[in-house]
Amino acid sequence: MASPTRNIRSYPLNASTSQETISHALRILRPHIPISLPLYRRLQAGRFFDASVLLTNLDLGSHSNGETSTSNNTIVKDHDRNSDEPYLLAFVDRSCRPETEVYLFASWEVDSSPPITEQQDTIDSLIHNLVKSIRNLSLPKSIHPPSATSETNSTTDHLGHSRADYGGHAANPDIMLWGAIHALTVPILTRLNYISPAFKTSLVPNHSFIWDVSTLPLLHEQDLPPGLSWGSLTPEHFALVRSRTQIPRQDRTLSVLPNLAIFEEATGEPVGWAFVGLDGSLTTLHTEAAWRGKGLAKMLTTKLFKEQMDKFWEEGVARLAHGYVIDGNKESEGMCTSLGGVSGWQVYWLRVDLGGVR
């Protein structure tokens, strides 16, 4: 890997040019799993459009990747490289709005403490150049129809946030949704005045839970309570999925995400479901109120990770799954912990304002 600079390079992600770029990026990110897992999985997932790009201050065209492979396929760092030089990689696709438009990994996030003072100017410059580069990208038409982005829902979550709070940024093209942003990067964006204060959901931390899928128990059909059976959701169920969450969900995305559901045999209706998100995370996990307290959420999570994530597994790389729980959702935190999930750090879904970038 070439030495990092403060300049941001852009690498298009499309079927004809992206494979070498993605492979190189994954090699850089791999030693930093699980911190790098959201971006790592997003690149693995594919589903790139014309506006999909990878922005970084690294030269991904270099054949030197800063790592060497051992005989058992374990990846180790090349300590001859100056590992103290800050760098970042960001997946960007503005055509995905109102969904997450940016996934980011930065080298300073692998430490448990904020970046040292001596690096602050370099890091600030790097983040500024990243945001400026995004500002200079063309704004494509969203792949999601207006009706899907403007759907209303008057209910609120346990924090009092409504669908309007989570999806209100869609009306302003200068406001972007950055997802799973590490808590160590949030103060940098705040210091540079890039986080829009108008959206209170940007201030809500989420716990990042990590699971070792190899340690999860096996599930069988007979493990379900009587009268229930396993299945998958189809587009006819997506309206129900959307009605059970304040976070706007788009049919076009739901239709390509692996999912798992539990159905009531007498009615044929789903009573619980979960999806694998574009970043490989546990997404939209839900159990209908009448069926809670029976362990269905744990069963859904376990079976989803065991059976719906094959495309993410690689030889020599630990089979790790992850999910996010909004701070204060004790029920979900308890479920994750009871399955052996470990919360290692916090992330945020930020509304980044491009309007003041110069």
Are residues 189 and 316 located together in one domain of the fold? no
In a domain, 157, yes or no: no
Angstrom distances, CA of residue 49 to CA of 18, 299, 321 = 11, 34, 25
pLDDT values of the chain reduced to their tens digit, one per residue, 358 residues: 567 888 999 999 976 668 899 999 999 999 999 999 999 999 999 999 999 999 999 999 764 444 433 333 333 343 333 457 899 999 999 999 889 999 999 999 998 777 777 789 999 999 999 999 999 999 888 888 775 444 555 666 555 555 555 556 667 889 999 999 999 999 999 999 999 887 766 688 999 999 999 999 887 666 899 999 999 999 999 999 988 886 777 899 999 999 999 999 999 999 999 999 999 999 999 999 999 999 999 999 999 999 999 999 999 999 999 999 999 899 999 999 999 999 989 999 999 999 878 7
Number of domains in the chain: 2
Angstrom distances, CA of residue 5 to CA of 9, 82, 108, 138 = 10, 12, 15, 24
The dihedral through the CA atoms of 104, 107, 110, 112 has a sign that is negative
CB of 186 closer than 8 Å to CB of 348 = yes
Report the C-alpha gap between 51 and 48 in whole angstroms: 8
Are residues 76 and 14 located together in one domain of the fold? yes
Are residues 107 and 228 located together in one domain of the fold? no
In a domain, 162, yes or no: no
In a domain, 358, yes or no: no
Query: pTM, whole model, 2 decimals?
Result: 0.89
Are residues 53 and 194 located together in one domain of the fold? yes
Are residues 19 and 60 located together in one domain of the fold? yes
In a domain, 115, yes or no: yes
CATH number at residue 304: 3.40.630.30
User: Residue holding tokens 């030889």?
Assistant: 315
In a domain, 40, yes or no: yes
Report the C-alpha gap between 63 and 53 in whole angstroms: 20
Here the tokens at position 113 are 């403490």
- Structural domain of residue 13, as residue ranges? 9-145+167-209+347-353
In a domain, 124, yes or no: yes
Are residues 106 and 243 located together in one domain of the fold? no
Tally helices (H) and strands (E) across the chain: 10, 14
User: Residue holding tokens 């396929």?
Assistant: 73
Are residues 229 and 245 located together in one domain of the fold? yes
Are residues 178 and 317 located together in one domain of the fold? no
As a whole number of Å, the end-to-end CA separation of the chain is: 30
CB of 30 closer than 8 Å to CB of 75 = yes
